[in-house]
Amino acid sequence: MSKEDLVEVTVKLPRGVVDFLTDMGENLEEYIVYTIVHDIAAGLDADAWCLPKYWVKKHNLGPIFQQHKISVSSYINPAKPGC
């Protein structure tokens, strides 16, 4: 992903969560990106949002999911149309 494809955000997390992740050896930025991308993919895969293929295409999420090695059946499987 190129720098121009990234948006910087500020997130406030409970200190206990940050301390725990740090103690577990997690890179906080990588962990947060991984968690958000996988949560979106899971929601699309479970049809949590209507028209999942529309959103994946509109926001060019396919390459992002591929980069993170995520398979989203509602995106890949045309037999699963969504809402």
Is 77 a domain residue? yes
Question: What is the spatial distance between Cα 62 and Cα 57, in angstroms, rounded to a whole number?
Answer: 7
pTM: predicted TM-score of the whole model, two decimal places: 0.75
10 vs 69: CA distance, rounded Å: 26
Tell me which residue range forms the domain holding 50.
23-83
Residue 10 domain-assigned?
no
Contacts for 32 with CB less than 8 Å, ≥ 6 apart: 11
Q: Residue 12: inside a domain, yes or no?
A: no
Query: What pLDDT was estimated at residue 50?
Result: 76
Domain membership flag for residue 51 = yes
Tokens 């993919």 belong to residue? 41
Please indicate, yes or no, if residue 1 is contained in any of the structural domains.
Answer: no
> Has residue 33 been placed in a domain?
yes
How many folded domains does the chain comprise? 1
pLDDT digits (tens, 9 = 90+) for 45-68: 877 777 788 888 899 888 888 888
